[in-house]
Amino acid sequence: MNHKKIILCVFISIFLLLIIKLVLQSSLKQDKLEIGVRNALELEFPKPLNVENQQINIENWASVNSEEGNIIRKMIKQTHSKCPVMGDHKPYVSVCVQDPKTNQGYVISLCCTHCLGKIQESLKLNDNKFSIRELNHVNVLYYKDEPKQIAVPCSRLNLEGVMKLVGTKLL
């Protein structure tokens, strides 16, 4: 082999290694984000906090300046950082959706009105594609069996709090 071919092979090898490195880094970032959302949903509340107090603090998190309120804010910020329908999109709007099963409204953050329609239709049809279930005494929006976002009880104060925390606007 002459020197030109050897140099060309070295450059091609280095180029391929850089591409593989970038692909692996991108994959690791995605895995860390998924782990972050799951960890946020599994945060323990400080002791001694009984179930009734915990639910009251969740409903009033935006006005409560406490350790529990800080944990709830962290959970909301982490879980509302991705659209629950189009997971690779950043949410731009926060809205209240109505869950006919519980007859309550919940604040969620989405990238567009299309996603809002998909979630609201699924909740209305009760097809279990999207559902709101309790996890560790906190209401959570699920896509199939995967927890996606903390479903904050809908109120003006909570909606404004989520929008400020996540950087979204009202639809």
pLDDT by 10s per residue, the chain, length 171: 688 888 888 888 888 888 888 887 776 666 554 555 556 555 554 443 445 555 555 666 666 677 777 778 888 899 999 999 998 899 999 999 999 998 999 999 999 999 999 999 999 999 989 999 988 778 899 999 899 999 999 999 889 999 999 999 998
Whole-structure pTM over 0.75, yes or no? Answer: no
Report CA 91 to chain centroid distance, whole Å.
9
Residue 31, CB-side half-sphere exposure with 13 Å CA sphere:
6
